[in-house]
Chains A and B, each alone.
Chain A
Amino acid sequence: MSWWRTPTARRYLFGYTLLAPAVLYVGLLVGVPFLFSLYLAMSDASVGSPVARFVGIENFASALENAVFYTALRNTIVFTVGAGILKGLLGTTLAFLLLQPFKGRKVIRALVVIPFTLPIAVSVLGWKWMFDSQFSVINWALSRLSLIGTYGSPDWPVWLGQPGLALLSVMFVNVWRGFPFSAIVLLAGLTSVPPEILDAAKVDGASFLQRFRKVIVPMIAPILFIGSAFDTVFTLSDLSIVYLLTNGGPDGATEILPTLAYNTGIRGGALGRGAAISLFLFPLLLPAIILLLRTLRRRQY
């Protein structure tokens, strides 16, 4: 019997045939353009002349000369890591709360999911209005509760204007939108946990936390990690929240790599340097992600 007729060979053939559409699709529509963007990052292309000179890593080096780049890098890391941790914590808690049977569960579940289902470009505009320096509903409420002063007083928070607060505010919007996602991924993932084990998740006093840590966490960790990995990568390159709320201002307080790349490469026209800024994290992320995914897959078998 030739090798091609062995069950193994047939399984391989079957398997790669199943894989082919997905691999070809993302390969052609992301892989090839990605090579093009790598080329951009290593050339002196501008928006009007993408046929350009090869400049090697000059654009990456140029990013490092840029003082704003370091601010953007730091903010990106704080933003992504901070928001990621919060989303993970809030999402997990919410998922377990929603597993409990209680009255009004369906309604509440529908309500908490809405932030994730609204189109981000529009809900961010809503937040812009809620963070408005003058008409903020948040300030209005806090002021009536006497937690802050009145409009015009020094302790009237300017959410998008004060350095630390501005970054926190844009992070908060990301968390607001993202934690229902974490919760849903978990809820969906929990279908894979055998019911007997899930039973331990019932809220029945002190032992809950212990069981949670020892039994549940190892079960859901892979799902949560995959969800977070996707969400983290998405957050890293997501432009819309910061772009629409502050565009990186004031004085770089909320500058992240995507806004800097967009304003340099697209609005400013220096495509090559923009591409270099936006791809800067790629070499750092690549090994991290590969490591993470490999460990995960090993653990699951």
Chain B
Amino acid sequence: MATLVVPAPRSQRHKELRRHLLVYAGLTPFLVIAVFPIFWMAITAIKQDADLYLVDAVPFWFRQAPTWKNFDFLFHNTSYGAWIVNTMLISFWVSAITILTAVPAGYALARLRLPFAENLGIGIFMTYLVPAIILFIPLARVVSTLDLQDSWWALVVVYPTFTIPFCTWLLMGFFKTVPFEIEEAAMVDGCGQFGALLRVVLPVSWPGIITAIIFSFTLSMQDFLYSLAFVSISEEKPVPLGVATELIRGDIYFWGSLMAGALLVGVPVAIVYNLFLDKFITGITGAAIK
């Protein structure tokens, strides 16, 4: 080891540079594909309407001065403020329901060697195969029986139907990686099975749980059909439905406000994602790179 400790600084820098170049070169196409549309949406969000229809103008820059009026429109001429609050509340409750059901289910399926566990796991997955375009009709009945029609609470009830299966399987994977030994040690120390789960397994599985929360959050924002069918009152709508139904008026698209409305919820979620991802991935990779 000792002989290798201090390599020539120059060659190391070279190597480092080469590695960086390789990584950047690899990332460039991804960045272009992922970011260009976002950049373009952001530009559109602060463009004046007439500027959008100038055929010979550079579409990703301004010919007329940029404007905040599209944002202004969102907050003053639509219920956008309420949509954001609804989206946050829906996502919060959906995540809560999902975690409370998927964590125990994932753990049970991964760890407890239950008879039929495999079939139950597959059964939970199967629910994903039922298309929403048909499912929303019987669910409308459920929603109205619960007296939740035209309230965002309807979506709190419905969204877990697709977040629970996904998160259960995701968490199953995480729980499998927790070594049996630490759980057994805890049980020897006098914890019951439940105590071991609570005190030992959950604390080491938090990256998985946070991932599940983030996914519940994002999946909730991908729905359009359920919200369309169950919520028609403007102030009760979540952001995606509100934006897609109230910023297109007949053949007039409020392009600027549409884009602004999407970015205002999409970008913060991306940042949150990144913060959490960063925490646990740096942890591992940090160890890996040493």
Judged by CB atoms under 8 Å, the answer to whether A and B touch is yes
Q: Which of B41, B105, B248, B284 contacts A198 (CB 8 A)?
A: B284
Chain B residues with Cβ below 8 Å from A12 are 112, 114-115
Task: Report the bound CA distance from A220 to B22 in whole Å.
Answer: 23
User: Given A106-B278, A234-B128, A261-B134, do A33 and B243 touch, yes or no (CB 8 Å)?
Assistant: no
Give A201's nearest chain B residue, CB to CB.
B288
Question: Which of B30, B161, B278 has its CB near the most chain A CB atoms (within 10 A)?
Answer: B30
CB atoms of A237 and B142 under 8 A apart: no
CB distance from A118 to the nearest CB of B (A): 4
CB distance from B124 to the nearest CB of A (A): 6
Asked if A137 lies at the interface with its beta carbon under 8 angstroms from chain B, I say yes
Asked if A63 lies at the interface with its beta carbon under 8 angstroms from chain B, I say no
CB atoms of A121 and B105 under 8 A apart: no
Asked if B131 lies at the interface with its beta carbon under 8 angstroms from chain A, I say yes
Asked if A246 lies at the interface with its beta carbon under 8 angstroms from chain B, I say no
Identify the stretch in A52-60, A77-85, A160-168, A282-290 within 8 Å (CB) of chain B at 4 or more residues.
A282-290
Asked if B74 lies at the interface with its beta carbon under 8 angstroms from chain A, I say no
CB atoms of A278 and B133 under 8 A apart: yes
> What per-residue 1/0 map shows which CB atoms of A247-280 lie under 8 Å from chain B?
0000000000010011001100001001100110
Q: Which of B126, B135, B169 contacts A286 (CB 8 A)?
A: B126
Identify the stretch in B2-10, B62-70, B173-181 within 8 Å (CB) of chain A at 4 or more residues.
B173-181
CB distance from A134 to the nearest CB of B (A): 7
CB atoms of B34 and A114 under 8 A apart: yes
User: Given A110-B270, A121-B224, do A100 and B288 touch, yes or no (CB 8 Å)?
Assistant: no
| Secondary structure call for the A interface | helix
CB distance from A65 to the nearest CB of B (A): 21
Task: Report the bound CA distance from A50 to B126 in whole Å.
Answer: 25
For chain A, which range describes its interface: under 10, 10 to 19, 20 to 34, or 35 or more residues? 35 or more
Q: Which of B60, B122, B139, B258 contacts A29 (CB 8 A)?
A: B139
Task: Report the bound CA distance from A53 to B107 in whole Å.
Answer: 44
CB atoms of B104 and A18 under 8 A apart: yes
Chain B residues with Cβ below 8 Å from A129 are 44, 253, 255
Asked if A213 lies at the interface with its beta carbon under 8 angstroms from chain B, I say no
Which residues of chain A (171-197) have a CB below 8 Å from chain B? 176, 179-180, 184-185, 187-192, 195-196
CB distance from B204 to the nearest CB of A (A): 11
User: Given A21-B105, A40-B134, A261-B134, do A114 and B129 touch, yes or no (CB 8 Å)?
Assistant: no
User: Given A90-B30, A122-B244, A258-B133, do A176 and B37 touch, yes or no (CB 8 Å)?
Assistant: yes
Asked if A71 lies at the interface with its beta carbon under 8 angstroms from chain B, I say no
CB distance from A97 to the nearest CB of B (A): 5
Task: Report the bound CA distance from A112 to B27 in whole Å.
Answer: 10
Task: Report the bound CA distance from A23 to B112 in whole Å.
Answer: 16
User: Given A21-B100, A110-B273, A125-B244, do A100 and B19 touch, yes or no (CB 8 Å)?
Assistant: yes
CB distance from A294 to the nearest CB of B (A): 7
> What per-residue 1/0 map shows which CB atoms of B276-289 lie under 8 Å from chain A?
01101100110111
Task: Report the bound CA distance from A300 to B129 in whole Å.
Answer: 24
| Beyond known contacts A29-B139, A230-B125, A237-B130: 16 more, CB 8 A cutoff | A14-B108, A14-B193, A21-B100, A25-B161, A25-B164, A26-B127, A34-B130, A36-B137, A100-B23, A102-B24, A118-B266, A126-B44, A126-B262, A195-B288, A202-B288, A203-B19
Chain B residues engaging chain A, CB cutoff 8 angstroms = 19-20, 22-24, 26-27, 30-31, 33-35, 37-38, 40-41, 44, 52-53, 55, 58-60, 97, 100-102, 104-105, 107-109, 112-115, 117-118, 120-135, 137-139, 142, 157-158, 160-161, 164-166, 168-170, 173-174, 176-177, 193-194, 207-208, 211, 218, 221-222, 224-225, 239-241, 243-244, 248, 253, 255, 258-259, 261-263, 265-267, 269-271, 273-274, 277-278, 280-281, 284-285, 287-289
Chain A residues engaging chain B, CB cutoff 8 angstroms = 10-12, 14-19, 21-23, 25-26, 29-34, 36-37, 40-41, 50, 90, 93-94, 97-103, 106, 108-123, 125-127, 129-130, 134-135, 137, 140, 151, 176, 179-180, 184-185, 187-192, 195-196, 198-199, 201-204, 222-223, 226, 229-230, 233-234, 236-237, 239-240, 258, 261-262, 265-266, 271, 274-275, 278-279, 282, 285-286, 289-290, 293-294, 297, 300
* A-B pairs with beta carbons under 8 Å apart, 9 shown: A11-B113, A25-B97, A29-B157, A32-B138, A33-B137, A115-B34, A118-B266, A191-B281, A234-B128
